[in-house]
Amino acid sequence: MIVTAILAGLVLGGTYALIAMGLTLQYGIARIMNLAYGDMIITAAFLAFALYSGAGINPLIGLAIAAPAGFILGYAVYALMMHPLVARAKDRVSLETDSILATFGLLFVIQGVLFVIFGGNYTSYSYLNVPVTILGTNIAANRLLAFVLAVVIGGLLYLALTRTRWGTALRAVAVSPSSAALVGIDVDRQARFAFALGGALAACGGVVISMYQTFTAASGVVFTMKALIVVIMGGVGNVLGALSAGLILGLVETFVATYLDPGLTLAATYLIFLVILLWRPSGLFGRSAR
């Protein structure tokens, strides 16, 4: 029983981690609090659905289409909408306020476009809904895929950020954009790249989630909320933090549902959120002072 709960929790946590990693890049490095993040996820989910049900394209191939598309969309959004805000922002706080307002608007634009194209109906299809037996427990292959993707992407990003020159530059921008410019880093370019990368990750998350979760054009905000909790819990801008916070959240929810009461999962989510923030105000892996 306990093995089942742990595995189910890890797999659920994998989904949370997967959707949160993109946001942590966008918020931590590009410093854009992207409220339309969840809608980018849903857009990718609809793309995967349209490809699968319309053209019979395997969602795994859909993943290969959606990820670059997400990158391009993220890049374009940053270049067109965010760049002017960054350019005129006096400090971090004013950029955050402006970006929240701008992406709040973007949220409705994306949602509106999705409504016009796909309507407001529940959308779902099922793909890879086959059991994979691990340690005597059946786990859905599509959820396992989300978990594996989260761990692989999280691990690769972590290595890239800590071991490469490019990653060091990104982290420098995250720590102090003004000082990063002094050592010859093109802050704007790095931020744009981080934002676009976040878009690509959102697209990956959307495609994988569409395989097993029912979504409507309006459900983006749910994903934004969940991702935001994970990001803040893990420490803003920290990929490893998002991964571990996501997994912790999944484990807590599953354990509470199994051993206490399924009705308390939401309460448990926010309780653990509160406890972690009281213990480490800047998140699990966050730096204590900026």
Partner 1 sequence: MTLFKRRHVLQTLGLGLATLAACGLTVASAEDRKSVRIGYAVSKTGPNAGGAGITTIPNYVLWVKDVNDAGGLELPDGSKLPIEVVEYDDRSSAEEVVRAVERLATQDKVDFMLVPWGTGFNLAVAPLFDRFGYPQLAVSAVTDKAPEFVKRWKKSFWLLGGGHDYARALAAVLVEANKAGTINNKVAMISIADGFGIDLVTAARPAFKEAGLEVAYDKTYPIGTSDFTPLINEAKASGADTFVAFSYPPDTFALTQQSQVTAFNPKVLYLGVGTGFPVYFKNNGENATGIMSLGGIDPNNQENAAYRKRHEEVTGQGPDYWGSVITYASLQMLQEAIKRKGLDREAVSEELSTGTFNTVLGETKLEDNQLRQLWWTGQWQNGQFVGVAPANRPGASKVVLPRQPWKAQ
Binding site residues, partner 1, CB under 8 A: 1, 4-5, 8, 11-12, 15, 80-81, 83-84, 87, 105-106, 108-109, 111-113, 115-116, 119-122, 124-126, 129-131, 138-140, 143, 212-219, 222, 250, 253-254, 257-258, 261-263, 265-266
- 192 with 7: CB under 8 angstroms? no
Closest approach, Cβ 172 to partner 1, in A, equals 26
Closest approach, Cβ 283 to partner 1, in A, equals 23
- 267 with 56: CB under 8 angstroms? no
Closest approach, Cβ 11 to partner 1, in A, equals 8
CA distance 211 to 250: 19
CA distance 90 to 95: 7
Nearer to partner 1, 160 or 222 (CB): 222
Q: How many CA atoms lie within 13 A of 247 on its CB side?
A: 15
Nearer to partner 1, 11 or 23 (CB): 11
Q: Alpha carbon of 23 to those of 18, 174, 247: distances in Å? A: 10, 13, 16
Nearer to partner 1, 258 or 282 (CB): 258
Per DSSP, the three-state class of 51 is helix
Nearer to partner 1, 175 or 221 (CB): 221
Those residues with Cβ within 8 angstroms of residue 282's Cβ, 6 or more apart along the chain or in another chain: 235, 236, 288, 289
- 71 with 202: CB under 8 angstroms? no
Nearer to partner 1, 87 or 93 (CB): 87
Closest approach, Cβ 26 to partner 1, in A, equals 19
Closest approach, Cβ 139 to partner 1, in A, equals 7
